[in-house]
Amino acid sequence: MTTIDSVATPVMTTTQVINAYMQEARAECLRYLRNPGFLLPTLLFPSVFYLMFGIFLAHANSADAPRYLLASYGTFGVMAPGLFGFGVSLALERDTGLLTLKRALPMPPGAYLLGKMCMALLVAAIVAVLLLCMAIFLAGVHLPASRIGAFFVVEVLGVLPFVALGLLLGTLVKGQGAPGIVNLVYLPMAFLSGLWFPLSVMPSFLQSIAPIWPAYHLDQLALSAVGLGQGREGMHVAALLGYTVVFVTIAARRLRRYG
């Protein structure tokens, strides 16, 4: 116990702080895994698209199409947990007062955000495993263990820039309008980053602006992981780190100022 102006205030031990972080992360993961309105679209959209275009129709295009689309739809799939799990839920929880309640609870201030980040990482891991299983067992994609591991790591960690972007969006929009605003970011970014159609078939102007989108850089890393990359992985990693730092910095300032 410490005293400030003769008023006793409790101090959490290190064990209690760690336990608080773990319990909040567990609660967030369970809450979203039990929410079919969030989980089913997040898992079904990339897997259904890959089933249609990466398995049924891919071999009519080229032998590398299943691998190429594994990277593209993997990137498309892991964008959703960050954008919707943070952007929409944070906006709703700010409006309903849940965020204010969380701040009043006796737990570390970062536990709320860390819990949501763990949820996004978990769902991204499920998406990556699901698509890998479809690619290997249904599409007949042959990848050595090293490339499977690289793809998994890239996609799971690749959710972090979109967690940061979702965090920023959640501080900018109201709860009722959040799903629409997030979709206005999510879907055009996926298209303009070449996740639905190869950039080579798109107008030159759209090709030239593709590198401004975080999804483009994650897709290039995913393509490298499956053996179809064009190099410059360091540049793509640096770009994603830069986006993450910028988004988190702006969002943190807005949360401190506006709640």
| 64 belongs to a structural domain | yes
Give residue 239's domain range.
9-258
Q: Which of 212, 177, 193 is nearest to 92 (CA)?
A: 177
Of the listed ranges 15-24, 106-115, 157-166, the one predicted with least confidence: 106-115
246-249: which pairs have CB atoms within 8 A and are 24 or more residues apart? 246/164, 247/161, 247/164, 247/165, 247/167, 247/168, 248/164, 248/167, 248/168
| 38 belongs to a structural domain | yes
Work out the angle between the directed axes of helices 65-82 and 160-172 (0-180°, nearest 10): 40
Token pair 């972090």 is at which residue?
160
Q: Which of 127, 118, 126 is nearest to 49 (CA)?
A: 127
Note the pLDDT tens digit of each residue in 45-82. Answer: 999 999 998 888 876 667 788 999 999 999 999 999 99
| 94 belongs to a structural domain | yes
pLDDT above 60: residue 225: yes
Q: How many domains does the chain have?
A: 1
| 114 belongs to a structural domain | yes
| 2 belongs to a structural domain | no
What does R_g of the chain's alpha carbons equal in angstroms? Answer: 20
Q: Which of 157, 161, 153 is nearest to 132 (CA)?
A: 153
Of the listed ranges 8-12, 126-130, 143-147, 158-162, the one predicted with least confidence: 8-12
Average pLDDT over residues 234-242: 97
| 157 belongs to a structural domain | yes
pLDDT above 80: residue 12: no
Does the CA dihedral 207-212-216-217 come out positive or negative? positive
Instruction: State the first-to-last Cα distance of the chain, in angstroms, to the nearest integer.
Output: 29
| 90 belongs to a structural domain | yes
The predicted model scores a pTM of 0.89
| 221 belongs to a structural domain | yes
Does the CA dihedral 147-211-66-153 come out positive or negative? positive
Question: To which H or E segment does residue 255 belong?
Answer: helix 233-258
